Structure 1
Amino acid sequence: MHGSAPEITDRTRQTRGHLSNSPCYASCLEFLDVLITSAIVGPSVIAYWRGTWNLCEDYLIPDNNVYSAATSFGIGVLGNLFFTFFQGFFSGNFKPDKYRLTFYLVSRLYTYIFGAVCVNGWRGPWALTDIFTGFNLFVVVSLTSLAIVLLTVIKGLRNLSAAPFVIVTDGHVDYFQVTTMFKTSGSHEPGLYVLDCIFSVLVVGTLVVVAWRGSWVFLDLTLYPGNPTYSAWGSLVIGYGIVGLTFALQPIMRWTCDRLTGLWRIAVADIFLFLSFLGTINVWRGVWQLLDIYFLPDNRLLSDWLTHGLSFVLLALLNCSNSVLVRGVYIDAEEPAGQCVVFPIHYIRLFFQKERTKKQRRLLDALERQDQNNTMFLLDKSQTNNIKIVKSNVGKLSDPEMKQLTNLTNLSERTKNGTDQNVLKD
């Protein structure tokens, strides 16, 4: 025998397969994903946005709020359009299989710049809405309700989601992809593609910002408005309470959507997505304001730089820096059956899946090498009583055939040694 192959018995394979497919195993991995995205990735994304947002206020025309907001709006719109228009260029010219180091450097720089663009794209319309509509409770509720209704009508309520209900790993596949509302193709329909990009960035993006801003200001006006500390802690408790409730309800909602079709499925999915949005906005507001209160309150500029830089580095080391980006447009209930209410927070599960795929690939490669190196002889009696040699791959034989082949081989050896002169039979 030449070479070596991992020896894994059938019982071992069955045990591993049973564990990996058992409900308990899957639930444990899912719980770990929920824990990681809620306790680590989510707060890191919020800290990054808080630091970047405040740095824009510190350095981007700080003496004039209108000009500062308008500049952020322009950076956000033009930057989002640029990365959307040229996503094909980035995907075609920076591939990990050809230039691994170049891809890594370019992709992380891409994420860092695009992250600043996304923050400005939100800060601009947010600040302009503050300036031109004010903080009257009736106006805030009216604008927020209108934005949420319009998002529901165009089936875009899902775009309100963010960490801790969304985590995006820095995988190589589709790293630079930015989805648009109508999924048009830039190569086949360039004119429609431009309009699709503009609609996705200006209309859908602005509606999402208005909904977030209105919900945030509503909490400012109603949740302990005279006590910022209580208000921040209140948002954090409410937010994580809703987050826990939402993840607990997810199996039930998935079961329900599996059995619904049409508008009913979309309606149930939207209600569930809106519940997750209420948890998201409270978690973001709580973490953000607690950082303002407790993290270097006497040196805000240093606090902003640290939350901006350290959070991005931590997310990059965790291989999920793309979670800071707000890009692309997604349609409500676009996935089949109950998948429309499953939140994309695969981190530990994705890691184990990749490792399992690598092990399976190594095992298959080893078996292929073994099949190529190890050949055996089938004996077939011809009319002249000569031995005919036939080459066969071991991996293609069933257990009965292997047993028969072994018997034939032993019989051949005895025949050669003169110990058995019987005629070989099929």
Structure 2
Amino acid sequence: MRGSTAGLPDNLQGYSTKYYTLLTILDLLFASLVVCPCVVGYWRAVWGLMDIYLAPFGDPYNGLISISIGMTGHLIFSIFQKVFERNFHPERNRIIFYLVSRNYTVCFAFICVNGWRGPWECLDFLSKTDMFSLIATTLVGVVALVSIRGLRNITAPPFLIATDDVKGYFEVMTMFRIQVGDKTSLYVLDCLFSVLIVGSLVVFVWRGVWLMLDIILFPDNFTISSWGSLILGYICVVFAFLLQPAMRYTCERLNGFSRLLVADTFILFAFFGTVNVWRGIWNLLNIFFLPDNMELSCWITHWVCLIILILCRCSNSLLVRGVYIDAEEPAGKCVVFPCYYLRVIFRKKKLKKLNVASASHNTIVRINHKDEKTVENHVHISTITTTIEENNIEERK
């Protein structure tokens, strides 16, 4: 559920600044009001179904089962990512790619939810839920993530959209960026560290803040507490989006530790809004949507949210995969949230028009800079040259 802004557009060539600003606002609204509720609804559904179906095993065994599913599945998809990439591509067979890729997302999303539920349940069993214990576990997670420059991995919708783009569909970034073709043992260790250590630390932080809100925010009235979280969360989301230009301006003029500090502080503020939005939507679904039949409620929410995200080509927003480094993007892009949807669609349409125009003149438009693409956000912004060549290939088919 996290992403990078590397390679994403700062403007739309051929469109006015006002038009680009309008598309930006629509993208942020789409991320906040469509993608985020669907992602939360899906996670709540799978989590709830696992609570129901694993209940007979008791504590802590149901948590250990989820850990086994989550960690094993995540490692398999990480280690064999290149196998998927080599064997499934629309150039070979478009229908097979579509079927395999969407089933991949469905399976991986189920694995991701279990990968979080397992450590969460085991922590509930092993540690106390008083304020002191929650603060301690949360600080451990935050400090550890800051130390390894991995705090940005706590990011989730509404502060990102991961589209179902062909390029990088099966890519899972690891902490130390060791490639599959390098020494196998080192690559496996990199995958283990990324999944077991970084992933668990992120769960520590989320669980700590979530349960602290249970204690602090109207603890005697669950419904009001949930509405309070939703309202507070969206207020923080709006402020985070409004602060983004100023934070980007600041980070462009900083470097080193000061730039990292500013970026991490902004990430923590956005994260506080994210947790509140998730907690609000999650709890309100439990309260108002078929509360007397939780199993049916979860199944309906599961399929409705999943289908909406697949139709919108945003189903990869469900996945928590890959490890990203704080402030690794150039200049102020490290504090720009990867909520690119309409802007990418319109950019592709513009490039396609240029492709048609160049083809009619029997010419190829070229740009003197390298092709860029996102890492993990699954929104790849090609240069005009690359897009023209790819479109020509598609037309010949």
Scaled by the length of structure 2, the TM-score of the pair is: 0.87
| Equivalence for 2:224 | 230
Structure 1 residues 244 and 18, CA gap change in structure 2 (3 angstroms): closer
TM-align CA RMSD: 1.3
Supply the distance in 2 between the matched residues of 1:134 and 1:184 (Cα, whole angstroms). Answer: 38
Q: Deviations over 1:226-249 (max 9, x none)?
A: 100000000001100000000000
Q: Residues 5-404 of structure 1 correspond to what in structure 2 (within 5 A)? A: 20-368=14-362
Any gaps of 5 or more consecutive residues in structure 2?
1-10, 364-397
Following superposition, the deviation at residue 21 of structure 1 comes to 4.2
Q: Deviations over 1:176-198 (max 9, x none)?
A: 00000000012122111111100
Supply the distance in 2 between the matched residues of 1:157 and 1:196 (Cα, whole angstroms). Answer: 18
Please state whether the residue corresponding to 1:65 is helix, strand or coil.
Answer: coil
- Give the structure, 1 or 2, with the largest relative contact order (CA under 8 Å, sep 6 or more): 2
Supply the distance in 2 between the matched residues of 1:21 and 1:253 (Cα, whole angstroms). Answer: 25
Please state whether the residue corresponding to 1:181 is helix, strand or coil.
Answer: coil
Q: Deviations over 1:83-113 (max 9, x none)?
A: 0000000000001112100000000000000
Supply the distance in 2 between the matched residues of 1:74 and 1:18 (Cα, whole angstroms). Answer: 45
Q: Deviations over 1:253-286 (max 9, x none)?
A: 1111111111111111001111110010000000
Supply the distance in 2 between the matched residues of 1:356 and 1:21 (Cα, whole angstroms). Answer: 9
**Counterpart amino acid of residue 202 in structure 1:** L
Following superposition, the deviation at residue 298 of structure 1 comes to 1.5
**Counterpart amino acid of residue 269 in structure 2:** L
**Counterpart amino acid of residue 70 in structure 2:** G
Following superposition, the deviation at residue 18 of structure 1 comes to 9.2
Structure 1 residue ranges (4+ consecutive) displaced by more than 3 angstroms after TM superposition = 17-21
Q: Deviations over 1:122-169 (max 9, x none)?
A: 000000001110211101111101111111111001000000001100
Please state whether the residue corresponding to 1:102 is helix, strand or coil.
Answer: helix
Supply the distance in 1 between the matched residues of 2:341 and 2:18 (Cα, whole angstroms). Answer: 18
Retained in 1: the 8 A contact 2:161–2:314?
yes
**Counterpart amino acid of residue 247 in structure 1:** F
Q: Deviations over 1:201-231 (max 9, x none)?
A: 0000000001000000000011011100000
**Counterpart amino acid of residue 167 in structure 1:** I
Retained in 1: the 8 A contact 2:12–2:20?
no
**Counterpart amino acid of residue 240 in structure 2:** T
Structure 1 residues 98 and 137, CA gap change in structure 2 (3 angstroms): same
Please state whether the residue corresponding to 2:157 is helix, strand or coil.
Answer: coil
**Counterpart amino acid of residue 33 in structure 1:** D
Supply the distance in 2 between the matched residues of 1:18 and 1:44 (Cα, whole angstroms). Answer: 28
**Counterpart amino acid of residue 258 in structure 2:** W
| Equivalence for 1:415 | none
Work out the percentage of aligned pairs sharing the same amino acid: 49
Retained in 1: the 8 A contact 2:244–2:335?
yes
Larger CA Rg, structure 1 vs 2 = 1
Retained in 2: the 8 A contact 1:184–1:196?
yes
Supply the distance in 1 between the matched residues of 2:197 and 2:112 (Cα, whole angstroms). Answer: 15
Scaled by the length of structure 1, the TM-score of the pair is: 0.81
Retained in 2: the 8 A contact 1:19–1:25?
no
Retained in 2: the 8 A contact 1:238–1:279?
yes
